[in-house]
Amino acid sequence: MEFVLSSVTPGTTEPSYQTFRSFRERYLNQYLYDEISDKKISIGPFWLAHPRRRQYEGIDLVPDGPAVLSGNIFNLWRGWGVEPKKGDWSLLRRHVYEVLANGDQKFDDYIIRWGAWTFQHAGERTGAALVLRGGKGSGKGVWGDVLMTVFGEHGLQIFDPTHLTGKHNAHLQNKLFLFADEAFWAGDKTAERTLKGVVTEKRMMIEPKGINAFPWPNRMSLYMAANEKWVVPASHDERRYAVGNVNERWKKNWSYFQPLLAEIAAGAPAAMLYDLERMKLGDWDPMNNVPQTQALLEQKMFSLDGLEQWWVSLLDSGELPYPDKKNPRRSNSEWLLEAAQKFSPRNRYVNETELGTFLGKMGCKHKSNGKKWGWVFPPLHEARTNWSQRSGGWEFLEPDLEDWGAKPQEEVAP
């Protein structure tokens, strides 16, 4: 193994592996003179046979640890990209609050604590990715660039998901921070599986070219910047992604960004590292404190399957398709199936059994009115409450509807 210039992130290095045979062939045309035998000897075999060659029992990555760990284990740690130092990062701090957190004090606190946790627990995965959405030029990348500066050799910025999902991924082995810059779309199922694994799994597989794959501890923290509407596959009770919509007030405004970038160039990353390394976090951790933001709610909505999206549309409107005249909470099975299939292409091939299983999970009761079978829905307030609890919070278009079939209250002119 040797450190070589990264094929992904310029200016950084990554481990590179080769077999003994490849090593011999690499230096086959380079020689040294052996006085004892009075012959030229190829460098490759000479080095491999030398009793003082560097040799280790294994490899690990321990931030702030010695070059050689206990048990003769080689440490891949190359140090921070900057030395922590007291200084000014006030403009960067303001940028986090006003732009990245969009003035939301709770989300601002999460972003700062998330950064502090990654510095104080650099050898551990965060368990929750920080995801910021907004247009190009709004300032999302500034935060990623600062973190890349801090992590130095151990930061990786990718623009192509194959750099994470591809087969040969030795460039990930010595990384602690991953900056995915416009690199993912939640509809990519292959990328989705890998993305979830990077966020939560304890181990990943590293497969260098020409070398057998091997398991490796997952220690990466993930920051994602994107302008797509649907960025991450967020489940109902999502704890893997902390999502925010950035403020685009200063988008592509050079008069705003020029002093900010000047502060960063003057040492703001080192000053931030100094302060956040010393920030008191107690038992706080990123995964168990993910804020339920409007942006996360949007990602949950985009991530719903077809039947779930149809269900939410019913809860929003408070109207069932062709409800019984005497009971607005009941509709025939055939009308419900037709409405669900027409609602979304995802539901095109949903059958009555699948729909019935879903409605049962939502608290509906399968009953006949004496003529046809249908479904009786729970009271609207109960159905909405159950969905909100299942989803970790939800906002409905007509929050004041009293029950199914009720009309929205008319606004009274002042």
Walk across the sheet containing 73-75 and list its strands: 58-60, 73-75, 68-69
- The enclosing H or E element of 24 equals helix 20-26
Write the DSSP assignment of 171-202 as a string of letters: GGTT-SEEEEES---TT-HHHHHHHHHHHH-S
pLDDT tens for each residue of 133-169: 999 899 999 999 999 999 999 999 988 877 777 777 8
Distances (CA, A) of 237 to 42, 299, 389, 391: 61, 12, 9, 5
170, 15 contact by CB (below 8 A):
yes
Residue 236 pLDDT class (50, 70, 90 cuts): low
pLDDT score recorded for residue 110? 97
206, 214 contact by CB (below 8 A):
yes
pLDDT score recorded for residue 8? 74
CA distance 197 to 235: 15
Residue 271 pLDDT class (50, 70, 90 cuts): very high
Residue 194 pLDDT class (50, 70, 90 cuts): confident
Select the more confidently predicted residue: 230 or 216: 216
Strands 203-206 and 241-245: unpaired
pLDDT score recorded for residue 411? 54
Backbone angles phi, psi at 329, to 5 degrees: -95, 0
CA distance 170 to 4: 11
139, 145 contact by CB (below 8 A):
no
Residue 196 pLDDT class (50, 70, 90 cuts): confident
Select the more confidently predicted residue: 50 or 200: 50
pLDDT tens for each residue of 26-76: 898 999 988 877 888 899 988 998 999 999 999 999 999 999 999 999 999
- The enclosing H or E element of 155 equals strand 155-158
pLDDT score recorded for residue 141? 94
Tell me which amino acid residue 115 is: G
Query: Quick one: average pLDDT of 356-373?
Result: 94
Q: Which structure tokens are listed for 182?
A: 């416009």
Q: Which residues pair with 40 in a beta bridge?
A: 33
Q: Average pLDDT, whole number, for the chain?
A: 90
Q: Which residues pair with 215 in a beta bridge?
A: 205
pLDDT score recorded for residue 410? 61
Residue ranges of the alpha helices (H) in 318-414?
Answer: 333-343, 352-361, 380-391
pLDDT tens for each residue of 296-318: 888 888 888 899 999 999 999 99
392, 292 contact by CB (below 8 A):
yes
Query: What domains can be seen in the chain, in order of their start residue?
Result: 2-75 (no CATH), 90-299 (3.40.50.300), 305-391 (1.10.10)
Percent above pLDDT 70 for the chain = 96
pLDDT at 377 over 70: yes
pLDDT at 187 over 70: no
Tell me which amino acid residue 98 is: E
CA distance 60 to 221: 17
